[in-house]
Chains A and B, each alone.
Chain A
Amino acid sequence: MIVRAADRVLVQGITGTQGTFWSQQMIAYGTRIIGGVNPKKAGAEHLGLPVYASAAEAANDRGFEVAVMFVPPMAARAAALDAIEAGAKLLVVLTEHIPAQDVMELIAAAKAGGTRVIGPNTAGLVTPGECFVGIMPAFNAKVHRPGRIGVISRSGSLGALICLNLVRAGFGQSAYIGVGGDPILGTTTRDALRAFEDDAGTDGVMMVGEIGGTAEEDAAEYAATMKKPVIAYIAGAAAPEGRRMGHAGAIVMGDKGTYRSKRAALERAGVRVLDAPTEAGAAFTKALGA
């Protein structure tokens, strides 16, 4: 789930406003985009790249490993199945508000087809200095810079702020993995922790969570077994119970998904939990002795 400069990327929905803007940004940064999909404009050229009728057609022509979806919620399931059937190794689902049953279906299909899903409702993946896939400010050197911290986040804007604070303290990122703000995710925080534990370019992990669900509790279980230091920040300490805080997944129901439960689980696992995002830099200076 760490994208590399050599990865070939297909953009589903490349001809839309956002698809166009972010494809330009990705290409400028160094992402190897091989083309896009839009069945209505198949055969045309866009941004100097071929537009295909389907991911299968793209696979037969130029080939790709990664697909990224700029596709509206009700069309997301079909687009994802197209990419999975075409053999995508990694599928980045940026779309927010996909019906949950469609999400479960596409995750089940991905599992059967050997595709790893990132998201839904993610801002994507960044490997500073190599490439990025999604809608992150990779080109902003105050936010993303090559380094040795792995960053995992359920939120794009907060993830960017954390990266900014790390860069300020002199820490770049080995990679940024946006797992997404939905309740049901293809790749969990725990999966992302494992990827960084196994990554030779990563010395420590910054994990950005939020209230709702059990992603942080599950991640804590794995963090307890890790060799690399993990530092966490959990958003939502001041959030009222029973209200959805913007993200579909960010809701406390009764005693489930609370800030307290997440913080306690992480601290039991030996993870330092920060009170504010601005503490991230100092925390890594201490943990890594840099």
Chain B
Amino acid sequence: MNFEEHAAKPLLDAAGIAVPKSRLVTSAEEASSAAAELGACVVKAQVPAGKRGKAGGIRMADTADEAAKAARAILAMEIGGHGVERLLVEERIPIAREFYAAVLNDASAKSPVVLFSTLGGMDIEDAAAKDPRALSRCVVDIREGFGHREAKEMLGGRDLGLPSPKRSIGFAQAGDEAKDVAKTLVALYRLYRQRDAELIEINPLALTDDGRLVALDCKFTLDDAAIPRQPGIAALGARERLSALEARGRELGLQYIELDGDVGVLANGAGLTMATMDAVRHLGGRPANFLEVGGQAYTLTKSALELALANPRVKSLVVNFCGAFARTDVMTEGVVTAWEELKPTIPVFFSIHGTGEEEAVELLRARLGMEPFDLMDDAISAAIEAAR
């Protein structure tokens, strides 16, 4: 679950990492009064998509009028397919240097990884291309944790101070910045652990003219599997954009993804469902959906069938079961019952193997008078033909 900037920054704030003062607004009028309060500010589109700046969704405003004007322009935009409905109006921070900091799950290392770069304010990939030495990476032993010793080691020897002309102004002692950065990284790791993050990224982490560290943007992704034990923050995450049918599937506890084809797909297990979709395409057809009834969901086949048929583009259906944990007799019973109730007019083609196969095939013969195809490819080819 992704958090937009306005939902992620309060988490940083609570973890002791400074963020700019801000107001979340939904209109030009509100933006204007927020700017009147904050002074020179930045008006930022709140959408669950990257590259907001490049799209023109982040604008500077020196006065309340300018903020209203910027807000009006951004609210009329669409960024990454998302209409802009909310804006963050934020006090403007005088930036001396921009860093990058992140903590994330690393599947290859099977461990959390802390990243820090002296090149912030740009894509981390671009930064790596520009200067590979700018990036430090620390693979964390999750049982030991990440403390000041690890942070210090990771930053070892880097000059993190203000650029020399500003340094002479003497707001901060040289070396204080490195200590502050280390403190920020430790706080970030602690937040990652406390809140079951998959990723927290601060980019840029600004060093201000007067030597303070302030998080100017933040990405936070909550591990979906941890939502049951993070009830306090799960409500703050951005809602995924779902079609009406996808939302219905979610409510039913089914994994349903709508696609633009006309051959409906119902299978058990993520891998088999993808393979069925792939075969539809490989054999010259177009799949209408991803819909799996694997794991515990195999008992929900009746609802699943109704969902697959509710898509008006579906002209034929392929049901492909290969039972391991999921029992094909239980799944077939659900399909047959739904079929008897709904009496759909589109044709359906079955392939059934694995756990409960004999009973499933018997059910299909007795109640629908149908014979499953031995090969899944033959069932799919027949469904593609019927959809034409």
Contact = CB atoms under 8 A, between A and B. Distances in A.
A and B interact: yes
Interface of A: 73-74, 96-101, 104-105, 107-109, 112, 123, 135-137, 140, 142-143, 153-161, 164, 181, 183-186, 208, 210-211, 213-214, 218, 233, 235-240, 243, 245-250, 275-278
B282 A237 contact: yes
B333 interface: no
Contacts of A208: 271
Nearest to B328: A137
Given A157-B324, A235-B278, A238-B280, 16 more contacts: A100-B105, A101-B193, A155-B272, A156-B324, A157-B271, A158-B322, A159-B271, A210-B271, A236-B274, A238-B274, A246-B273, A247-B271, A248-B224, A249-B107, A275-B282, A278-B377
B324 A123 contact: yes
B326 interface: yes
A-B pairs with lowest CB-CB distance, top 3: A155-B271, A246-B270, A157-B269
Given A156-B269, A164-B353, A214 B108 contact: yes
Contacts of B323: 137, 157, 160
Contacts of B354: 137, 140, 143, 157, 160-161, 164
Contacts of A211: 274
A98 to B, nearest CB: 6
A161 B376 contact: yes
B198 A100 contact: yes
A277 B271 CA distance: 11
Contact of A239 (B198, B225, B290): B290
Interface string B102-143: 000101101110000000000000000000000000000111
A248 B255 CA distance: 12
A219 B143 CA distance: 28
A98 B141 CA distance: 19
Contacts of B278: 235-238, 276
Contact of B105 (A104, A156, A240): A104
Nearest to B380: A276
A157 B326 contact: yes
Nearest to A140: B354
Interface in B187-223: 193, 196, 198, 223
Interface residues of B, number: 53
B233 interface: no
Contacts of B281: 237-238
Nearest to B230: A99
Contact of B270 (A160, A185, A210): A210
Contact of B294 (A213, A238, A246, A249): A246
B275 interface: yes
A141 to B, nearest CB: 11
B255 A246 contact: yes
A98 B225 contact: yes
A247 B290 contact: no
Contacts of B324: 123, 135-137, 156-157, 159-160
B174 interface: no
A139 B134 CA distance: 56
B372 interface: no
A281 to B, nearest CB: 11
Nearest to A155: B271
A105 B275 contact: no
B57 interface: no
B238 interface: no
B267 interface: yes
Interface string B318-338: 000011111000000000000
- Most interface-central of A154, A211, A233, A277 (chain B CB within 10 A): A277
B226 interface: yes
11 contacts: A101-B226, A105-B143, A137-B324, A143-B353, A143-B354, A157-B267, A157-B271, A164-B354, A235-B275, A245-B255, A250-B270
A187 to B, nearest CB: 11
Nearest to B198: A100
Nearest to A97: B225
Given A104-B110, A156-B269, A235-B274, A164 B257 contact: no
Contacts of A98: 225
Contacts of A96: 295
